[in-house]
Amino acid sequence: MTDALEGILVVALEQAVAAPVASCRLADAGARIIKLERAEGDFSRGYDDYAEGLSSYFVWINRGKESCRVDLKNPGDLALVEAMLSEADVFIQNLAPGATGRLGIGSAELRQRYPKLITCDISGYAPGTPHYTRKAYDLLIQAEAGLSAITGSESSGPMRIGVSIADIATGNAAYAAILEALLRRARTGQGSQIQLSLFDTVADLMNVPYLTRRYGGIEPPKLGLAHPSIAPYGVFRLADAEVLLAVQSEPEWRILARDVLRDDALADDPRFATNVLRVRNRAVLDA
């Protein structure tokens, strides 16, 4: 934990993973986080009980926060939240699209009342898109954005990445956007309205597969631990074990061939002289 954001107050009307990741990063940087929870609590409290009876997800991304139970349909509780927001530097929320607006604490309204406030809305899909009002979960986003289609192997078929990458990446993107907004406010005195979606965040991660398909005419392969653009890269079986290799440059390739494998002919083989050629001749190289 650092003190870079000491004195910054963040009100977080959050649940699940994406928004809590963002506020957790802010807490780690020294900000004060007030997490608003409904009576039954953030539903991620019930994901599992592995952390000494507590949810591993909740413990991970809610450290260093203060929690306040509120019923937003109760006028007194809503007034309390409004009082917090009047003093806050940042407001983060990832409720269902439109929920905060119906309560009178939507970003546009808050920015009018508190011009210095930075608001951050996180949704599954971007405002103005056909699916904006739909619920979204990490698995759905991985599939819809194409990430699961390039994960796994040809024999396994599409697979989910083993962590909630859509949520985590969006939370980290929100953290970066909030830091930018704080810097902008320090210069201009004005807050900002930030909007992020899980789908857009993961779609951005898919730029290299898209460019490969769009300009190279190549369908991104499912290679397991191998890399579609780098070789040798992945798990290789030895006589009595397995070894993981990641060779990303010509000097590394020559060191592997000459010094590790002790094969000068392999090091000088023109089929493997560059990474582009090694990828093109991957089947021979990996054999």
CATH code, domain with 99: 3.40.50.10540
Q: Is 218 part of any domain?
A: no
**Residue tagged 């083989």 (tokens):** 269
Residues 157 and 260 in one domain: no
Q: How far apart are CA 111 and CA 108, in angstroms?
A: 5
Name the range with the highest mean pLDDT among 36-45, 170-179, 255-264. Answer: 170-179
**Residue tagged 């203060």 (tokens):** 66
Instruction: Tell me: pLDDT of 1 over 80.
Output: no
Please give the DSSP secondary-structure letter assigned to residue 278. Answer: H
Residues 89-127 pLDDT 10s: 999 999 999 999 999 999 999 999 999 999 999 999 999
Q: Is 221 part of any domain?
A: no
Looking at the structure of the chain, the number of domains it has is 2
Q: Is 125 part of any domain?
A: yes
Neighbours of 125 (CB within 10 A): 20
227 an active-site residue?
yes
Residues 147 and 237 in one domain: no
Residues 124 and 253 in one domain: no
Calculate ∠ Cα 16-59-77, nearest 5°.
Answer: 55
Q: Is 220 part of any domain?
A: no
- Classify strands 233-237 and 242-246 as parallel, antiparallel or unpaired: antiparallel
225 pLDDT tier (thresholds 50, 70, 90):
confident
Please report which residue ranges of 88-217 form alpha helices under DSSP H: 99-102, 107-113, 138-144, 165-188, 198-205, 207-216
Instruction: Tell me: pLDDT of 209 over 80.
Output: yes
User: What pLDDT score was predicted for residue 270?
Assistant: 95
Residues 40-69 pLDDT 10s: 999 899 999 999 999 999 999 999 999 999
Catalytic residue among 38, 131, 227, 254: 227
Q: How far apart are CA 251 and CA 167, in angstroms?
A: 37
What range does the domain containing 45 cover? Answer: 9-205
The end-to-end CA distance of the chain, in Å, is 48
Residues 239 and 201 in one domain: no
Q: Is 214 part of any domain?
A: no
pLDDT mean across residues, the chain: 95
